[in-house]
Amino acid sequence: MRFSSLGSGSRGNSTLVQQGETLLMIDNGFSTKETDKRMARFGVTGEQISAILVTHEHADHLGGVARYARRYDIPVWASHGTAKMMKGVEGVQCFNSHQSFELGAFLVEPVLVPHDAREPTQFVFKSNELKLGVMTDTGSITQHMVEALTGCDALLLECNYDRDMLLNGAYPDSLKRRVVGDWGHSDNLQSVELLNQLETEKLQHLVLAHVSEKNNSHELVLDCVSSAIQCDRARLKVIDQDDGLDWCTLTTDNNIKETLHA
């Protein structure tokens, strides 16, 4: 199994997850041209995508989905609530947010999250005895999230903002209240608090995502997370809004496997 990101942040998100012939795209907040350009960087094309999964209807996740799906004739999957909010996407396949479903080589487990959208879900992907968690756009931590994400082999996790930077920054008060609210985003400390509730011994990759360009920095994220889970900060990765993140490969082979705590 392997995964990469075309970019993450308020100017657009898209994650790729692949096992064998199955290539899934989670969200697409980029134009078709930009998506193709970023896909090419990582050696894949739109024709290879098996399905697009949409986490929720905010533009940084949904903005590019309709055009990209139409361009390459890709099926789109979303929760019932998210599907209702999607205009211009034809024949959306709905999944039950409380039920895992098979998509090619993957068992996909939707995870309902507290965020200010109609029926937002994040995902856990299982294949070949490996488990990848993708978790962004959550205003608070729920027991449901903890149970879904524990024991992952790789985790892509939101570290949206540094609380002091946000509160002292230039955002209008209404936006500040939205971001820090229970249905907004996770700050660095909330993500650490979530990590501390998870079994992380098996983690081969920990990738920090949806990092605000105005209210956070890669340095702060790396400092905060590496000290919290006591790993070498060089083993952590932060997704860049413009450059994305190159493929991270997960393995079941104990001879080559390297975990964060090794």
Binding region for Zn ion (CB under 5 A):
58, 60, 137
Least separation in angstroms between residue 149's CB and Zn ion is 18
Cβ proximity to Zn ion: between 117 and 260 the closer is 117
Least separation in angstroms between residue 233's CB and Zn ion is 25
- Spatial separation of the C-alpha atoms in residues 3 and 24, rounded to whole Å: 9
Asked if 224 and 192 touch (Cβ cutoff 8 Å), the reply is: yes
Q: Which sign, positive or negative, has the C-alpha torsion 125, 130, 136, 142?
A: positive
Least separation in angstroms between residue 137's CB and Zn ion is 4
Of all residues in the shown chain, the one whose CB is closest to Zn ion is 58
3-state secondary structure of 244: strand
Cβ proximity to Zn ion: between 60 and 109 the closer is 60
Question: Can you read off the two tokens belonging to residue 40?
Answer: 């090419």
Per-position b or e across 60-98, b if 16+ CB within 10 A of its CB: bbbbbbbbbbeebebebbbbebbbebbeebeebeebebe
Cβ proximity to Zn ion: between 109 and 137 the closer is 137
Orientation of helix 65-72 relative to helix 32-41, angle to 10°:
70
Least separation in angstroms between residue 19's CB and Zn ion is 25
Asked if 77 and 52 touch (Cβ cutoff 8 Å), the reply is: yes
Cβ proximity to Zn ion: between 11 and 70 the closer is 11
Q: Which sign, positive or negative, has the C-alpha torsion 236, 197, 138, 93?
A: positive
Cβ proximity to Zn ion: between 60 and 162 the closer is 60
**Beta carbons within 8 Å of 98's beta carbon, 6+ residues apart:** 110, 112
Least separation in angstroms between residue 136's CB and Zn ion is 6
Cβ proximity to Zn ion: between 218 and 235 the closer is 218
Least separation in angstroms between residue 59's CB and Zn ion is 9
Give how far Cα 262 sits from Cα of 35, 226, 235, 257, Å. 35, 14, 10, 9
Least separation in angstroms between residue 243's CB and Zn ion is 18
Cβ proximity to Zn ion: between 144 and 257 the closer is 144
Least separation in angstroms between residue 175's CB and Zn ion is 13
Q: Which of 150, 151, 127, 103 is nearest to 251 (CA)?
A: 127
User: Within 10 A of 250 (CB to CB), how many other CB atoms are there?
Assistant: 22
Cβ proximity to Zn ion: between 108 and 179 the closer is 179
